[in-house]
Structure 1
Amino acid sequence: MPQRADIAVTWEKWQLTPDGQAARLFHLTNRRGTQLTVSDWGATLTSLKLAMPDGKLRQMVLGCDTLNDYQQSPYLGATVGRYANRIRNAEFTIDGQSYSVVANEGNHCLHGGPEGFSHQLWQAKVLEQQPAVQFTLHSPDGDQGFPGNATVVVTFTLSEDDRVQIDYSATVDKPCPINLTNHSYFNLDGVAGDVGSHVVQLNADRYLPVDQASLPVGAPISVTNTPFDFRHAKALNQDWRKVVDDQRYRGFDHCFILSNSGDQPAAQVRSGDEQVAMTLYTSSPALQLYTGHYLEGTRGHNELVYQNRDGFCLETQFMPDQPNSDEAEACIVRPDGVFKHSTTFAFHC
Structure 2
Amino acid sequence: MADDGAVLALTRQLIARRSLTPDDAGCCALIADRLRALGFGIEYIDAGGVTNLWATLGDEGPLLILAGHTDVVPTGPREHWASDPFDPTVREGVLYGRGAADMKSGLAAMVCATERIVARRALRGTLAYLITSDEEGAARHGTRHAVAVLQSRGIRPDYAIVGEATASSQLGDRITIGRRGSLGCNLRVLGRQGHVAYPDKADNPVHRLAPALAELVAIRWDEGNDHFPPTSFQVSNVNAGTGANNVIPGHADVVFNFRYCTESSADGLKSRVTAILDRHGLRYEADWWHSGEPYLTAPGRLIDAAQSAVRETTGLTPTLFTGGGTSDGRFISPWGAEVVEIGPVNDSIHKVDEHVNVTDLPRLSAIYEGVIDRLL
TM-score, length of structure 1 as denominator length? 0.29
Structure with the bigger percentage of strand: 1
Q: Which has the higher contact order (CA 8 A, sep 6+)?
A: 2
Structure with the bigger percentage of helix: 2
Bigger Rg, which one = 2
